[in-house]
C-alpha cells in the first residue's frame, strides 16, 4: 500500500464548465501515456492541474449510449487527454497542448521549447516521431490486436512492421543521447531540458520495465506495466534498448517530474 | 480577367453532413495560407477535394450571432481550415491534416512523410517552425495589429520581436537549401519532395511578391498580395530573402502544385 497523495478527479462536464485554471483528462490509477506526458509537461512548467475523468471507449450497458458522446460534443474527438485552460477552446493534439503549456506555465519554469530555431526543429521533429501518427507509441500500440490498436489502424501488415518502426525510433534516440553525451549534454536537444526529454522519458515507459519508485503499481495499471515490460523483450526492441536509454529516462523523470508518479486509483 | 476554372464551394453544414470524400474549408478568392497549403498537399497526394465555405470571424449584423458558432459546434475550434474525410472526426491542426492526407492519398502519389526516421525528424521539425505556434507564419501575422493578429497573441513586445523571428526561419531554410543543393538535392529533406517543401513553398508566399502565374489576383486577395509583397521589404526579412528561396518556391509550386492557383472568388 502506497502512501502517495490521492488526487481528486472531477467530471468531464465540470471540467468543461470551469472558466479558470488548467484541466486535463485522466483515467484514475492508469498512466495513459499521453495524459501522463502532459501531466509531466505541466509539472515542469509549474502549472497546477485539475484532473478530470476521461470517459472510456465503448457503449454504456445501461443506457446503450456511446460513453464518449459527450466528450465528442465538447472536443470533436475522443482521444486521451483533452486539455482545457481558462475559457479557451480545448486542446486535443500534443503539439497544441505543448504550446499552451509553454505559454501559460510559470515564468520561472524551464523553457520546454528552445529559443534557438535550429534546436526547435530538432525538438519538434523528435517529438513528432515519438508522439505522432505512425510514430513510436502509435506503432507500439498496433504490435497487438485490440480495441485501441484497431482505433489506430491495426491490420496484420502494419502490425508486422510495427516492432521495427518502434526500434528505429529507439535507436535514433539512443544515437542522439550518445552524441549529446560526447558533447557534454545529458539532454536530447542542446544543453538543457526540453519537451523532447519529457515526452521521450514518459513515452519510453511503454517499452521498458519501469521501477515502482518512478511508476507505482495500482489495481488499474498492473496489467499495463506487465505489457510494457514484455514489450522490452520483443526481439527487435530488446536489440536497441541500451542502459543509456534507461539512464536518461530515470534521470529526466526523477529530476524534472513528480516521482513516484501520482496516479490515483487503487495503489497496491 | 482570368480563364481559370471556377471551383464550387458548398456550405459548411453540407460538408459536415457528407460521409464520403474529403472536404476542406476555404474563403473564395483568398489564398488563406493554411487552406492553400492543405489544398497543395492534397493536390500532390492526388486527393480530390470538395471545397466548403469557412465562416468569417465576427458577429452577424442581422442576427447578432457569432458567425463561427456552428463551426465551433462542429470542430471545437474556429481556425482555417478544417478538414473532413469520410465520416471521420474533423482535423483542425496541420500535423493531423498532413497525416490524414498521407494516409488517404493515392498510392501512386509521392510520400510527403519520408520513410526514414531521421528524415522524418527533419521534416516534422521544419514544418513545426513554419506552421506551428510562434513559428514563421504566426510571427508574420503579429508583425501588425488587427483582429487576426490579436487572435494570435498580438502585443507590442511580441510584435517588435516578430520580424527577427520570421527572418530566423527564412535564414534556416535558406542555409538548408544551400547545403542540400551542394549535396545535389533540390529539396529541403533528403533527395525527394516532402511535406516540408510543399508547406514552405506555400507559406513563404506571405513574405514574397508572388507572380500571377503562380498566385492570380482576385478582388478578394489583392490587398493580401500587396501586404505579402510589402513583408518582403521589412528590413530584417529583406536581409535574409535570397534568390534561392524564390527559386525553390517557384520550382515546388510549379512542379508539384496546381498553378496558377485556383481560388474562386472574382479573378481580376
Give per-residue pLDDT as tens, A170-229.
Answer: 999 999 999 999 999 999 999 999 999 999 999 999 999 999 999 999 999 999 999 999
B212 burial level (CB within 10 Å; 0-12, 13-18, 19+): middle
Question: Which residue, B31, B24, B19, B28, is CA-closest to B92?
Answer: B24
Task: Tell me the C-alpha distance between A156 and A43, whole Å.
Answer: 38
| Radius of gyration for the alpha carbons in chain B, expressed in angstroms and rounded | 18
H runs (alpha helix) in A144-234: 147-151, 156-182, 195-203, 222-231
Task: Tell me the C-alpha distance between A65 and A67, whole Å.
Answer: 6
| Radius of gyration for the alpha carbons in chain A, expressed in angstroms and rounded | 18
- Give residue limits of the domains in chain B: 9-104, 117-256
Would the CB atoms of B93 and A90 count as touching at under 8 Å?
no
Check whether the bond before B78 is cis (ω within 30° of 0). Answer: no
Task: Tell me the C-alpha distance between A13 and A82, whole Å.
Answer: 12
| Cα distances (Å, whole numbers) of residue A44 to A262, A267, B212 | 15, 24, 49
Query: Which strand ranges, in their side-by-side order, compose the sheet holding A22-26?
Result: A9-10, A49-53, A22-26, A83-85
Q: Which residue of B has its CA nearest to A172?
A: B118
Task: Tell me the C-alpha distance between A64 and B235, whole Å.
Answer: 63
Q: For an interface test with A, which of B120, B134, B179, B194 has the most A Cβ atoms less than 10 Å from its Cβ?
A: B120
Q: For an interface test with A, which of B100, B125, B127, B153 has the most A Cβ atoms less than 10 Å from its Cβ?
A: B125
Give the single-character DSSP code of A260: S
Cell numbers linked to B231: 513583408
For residue B135, the distance in angstroms to the closest alpha carbon of chain A comes to 9
Q: What percent of chain A has pLDDT over 70?
A: 99
Task: Tell me the C-alpha distance between B53 and A92, whole Å.
Answer: 24
Enumerate the residues of chain B whose CB falls inside 8 A of the CB of residue A93.
93, 95-96
What's chain B's average pLDDT? 96
Label residue A1 by pLDDT band (50, 70, 90).
Answer: very low
Would the CB atoms of B132 and A99 count as touching at under 8 Å?
yes
How are beta strands B49-53 and B22-26 bridged, if at all?
Answer: parallel
pLDDT for the residue B239: 98
pLDDT for the residue B1: 44
Q: What is the largest CA-CA distance in chain B?
A: 60
B229 burial level (CB within 10 Å; 0-12, 13-18, 19+): middle
Indicate if the pLDDT at residue A78 is higher than 80: yes
Cell numbers linked to B77: 475550434
Indicate if the pLDDT at residue B2 is higher than 60: no
pLDDT for the residue B151: 78
Torsions phi, psi for A137 (to 5 deg):
-65, -45
Question: Who among B74, B120, B172 is closest to A118 (CB)?
Answer: B172
The secondary element (H helix, E strand) that includes residue A23 is strand A22-26
Cell numbers linked to B109: 502519389
Question: Who among B76, B132, B172 is closest to A76 (CB)?
Answer: B76
Would the CB atoms of B89 and A77 count as touching at under 8 Å?
yes
pLDDT for the residue B4: 62
Provide the β-strand partners of residue A85.
A22
Would the CB atoms of B124 and A128 count as touching at under 8 Å?
yes
Taking the Cβ of residue B133 and every Cβ of chain A, the question of whether any pair is shorter than 8 Å is answered with yes
Taking the Cβ of residue B111 and every Cβ of chain A, the question of whether any pair is shorter than 8 Å is answered with no
Question: Who among A77, A89, A122 is closest to B125 (CB)?
Answer: A122
For residue B99, the distance in angstroms to the closest alpha carbon of chain A comes to 7
Are the C-beta atoms of A106 and A46 separated by less than 8 Å?
Answer: yes
Indicate if the pLDDT at residue B217 is higher than 70: yes
Interface of B with A in 155-184 (CB under 8 A): 165, 168-169, 172
Question: Who among A77, A127, A172 is closest to B117 (CB)?
Answer: A172
Question: Who among A93, A121, A125 is closest to B93 (CB)?
Answer: A93
For residue B2, the distance in angstroms to the closest alpha carbon of chain A comes to 39
Domains B9-104 and B117-256 share a fold: no
Would the CB atoms of A95 and B128 count as touching at under 8 Å?
yes
Candidate from A26-35, A142-151, A194-203 with smallest mean pLDDT:
A142-151
Half-sphere exposure of B37 (CA within 13 A, CB side): 29
Would the CB atoms of B125 and A123 count as touching at under 8 Å?
yes
pLDDT in tens, B134-149: 999 999 999 988 887 8
Task: Tell me the C-alpha distance between A100 and A121, whole Å.
Answer: 18
Q: What is the CATH number of domain B9-104?
A: 3.40.30.10
Cell 482505433, residue located:
A151
Tell me, letter by letter, the H, E, C secondary structure of B165-192: HHHHHHHHHHHHHHHHHHCCCCCCCCCC
Question: Who among B90, B103, B117 is closest to A129 (CB)?
Answer: B117
Q: What is the CATH number of domain A117-256?
A: 1.20.1050
Taking the Cβ of residue A151 and every Cβ of chain B, the question of whether any pair is shorter than 8 Å is answered with no
pLDDT for the residue B3: 57
pLDDT for the residue B153: 78
Indicate if the pLDDT at residue A261 is higher than 50: yes
Q: Which residue of B has its CA nearest to A168?
A: B117
For residue A215, the distance in angstroms to the closest alpha carbon of chain B comes to 29
Cell numbers linked to A104: 501559460
Helix, strand or coil, per DSSP, at residue B36:
helix
Amino acid at each position: 500500500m502506497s502512501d502517495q497523495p490521492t488526487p481528486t478527479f472531477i467530471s468531464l462536464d465540470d471540467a468543461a464548465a470551469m472558466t479558470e485554471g488548467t484541466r486535463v483528462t485522466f483515467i484514475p490509477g492508469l498512466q495513459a501515456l499521453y495524459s501522463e506526458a502532459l501531466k509531466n509537461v505541466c509539472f515542469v512548467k509549474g502549472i497546477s492541474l485539475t484532473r478530470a475523468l476521461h470517459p472510456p471507449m465503448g457503449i454504456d450497458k445501461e443506457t446503450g449510449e456511446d460513453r464518449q458522446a459527450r466528450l465528442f460534443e465538447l472536443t470533436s474527438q475522443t482521444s486521451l487527454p483533452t486539455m482545457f485552460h481558462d475559457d479557451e477552446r480545448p486542446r486535443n493534439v500534443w503539439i497544441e497542448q505543448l504550446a499552451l503549456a509553454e505559454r501559460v506555465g510559470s515564468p520561472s519554469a524551464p523553457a520546454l521549447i528552445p529559443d534557438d530555431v535550429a534546436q526547435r526543429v530538432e525538438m519538434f521533429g523528435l517529438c513528432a516521431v515519438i508522439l505522432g501518427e505512425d510514430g513510436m507509441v502509435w506503432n507500439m500500440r498496433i504490435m497487438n490486436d485490440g480495441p485501441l490498436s484497431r482505433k489506430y489502424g491495426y491490420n496484420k501488415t502494419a502490425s508486422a512492421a510495427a516492432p521495427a518502426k518502434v526500434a528505429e525510433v529507439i535507436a535514433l534516440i539512443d544515437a542522439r543521447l550518445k552524441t549529446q553525451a560526447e558533447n557534454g549534454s545529458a539532454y536530447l536537444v542542446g544543453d538543457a531540458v526540453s519537451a523532447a526529454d519529457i515526452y521521450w522519458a514518459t513515452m519510453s515507459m511503454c517499452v521498458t520495465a519501469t521501477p515502482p519508485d518512478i511508476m507505482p503499481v495500482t489495481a488499474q495499471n498492473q496489467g499495463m506495466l506487465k505489457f510494457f515490460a514484455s514489450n522490452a523483450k520483443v526481439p527487435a526492441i530488446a536489440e536497441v534498448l541500451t542502459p543509456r536509454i534507461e539512464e536518461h529516462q530515470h534521470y529526466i523523470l526523477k529530476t524534472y517530474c513528480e516521482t513516484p508518479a501520482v496516479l490515483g486509483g487503487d495503489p497496491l
